[in-house]
Amino acid sequence: MRNAVSGLTDDDLARTAGPGRWPLWAVIGHLACQRVFWLCDFAGEPGAESTPFTNATWSCPGDEDLDNELNAEQLVAALDSTFAIVDRVLDGWTIDSLADVIDRSDWDAHWVHSRAFVIDRVHSHDLWHAAEANEILTRLGSPRIDPWT
């Protein structure tokens, strides 16, 4: 993903997949920010302060912020810093700990999930937005994101 984004211009990153859709910079920024939300804000893992998204619960590109555009360099840094959190979690959480339940019902009743759910949520969210980014990258004639290589 970082390779697909790294060489793009600001004009490229401003492209959308269609009317009413987020620009590419927001799609990728949102993807990275949601890693911080789920792993740090929700699951309590450290590392948010090493990313551009120190307030991921309340301010992520796309969701709450379409004004502060991110350039390719900023997106690569965001992807790298947030994947470092993913990598650390995958190294630290054991198979047995995946059943552990994280209860944030003080936020709302539906915020109770297992660690396995959190990993699945981050992974499926990345894939969802990578597919969305690929719609735009294809139109640009740029290499697409291939999660299997």
Length of the chain in residues, anyone? 149
Q: Residue 131: its pLDDT value, please?
A: 96
pLDDT band for 63, please (50, 70, 90 cuts): confident
Residue the block writes with tokens 């539906």: 110
Residue 20 above 90 pLDDT?
yes
Work out the pLDDT band at 33, boundaries 50, 70, 90. Answer: very high
CATH 1.10.1240.10 is the classification of domain 2-140: no
Q: What is the CA angle 55-4-84, rounded to 5?
A: 40
Cβ count within 10 A of residue 147: 10
16-21: Cβ within 8 A, 24+ apart: 16/136, 17/132, 17/135, 17/136, 17/139, 18/135, 21/132
pLDDT of residue 95: 97
- Residue 109 pLDDT exceeds 90: no
- Band (pLDDT 50/70/90 cuts) for residue 90 is very high
Cα separation, 144 vs 65, in Å, equals: 25
65 has pLDDT over 90: no
pLDDT for residue 126: 97
The two tokens of residue 119 are 């990993």
The residues that bridge with 103 in the sheet, in sequence order, are 112
CA dihedral 94, 99, 103, 108 (to 10 degrees): 120
pLDDT in the model for residue 99: 98
* Phi, psi dihedral angles at 114 (to 5 degrees): -80, 160
User: The whole model's pTM is what?
Assistant: 0.94
Q: At a CB cut-off of 8 Å and minimum separation 6, what does 83 contact?
A: 35
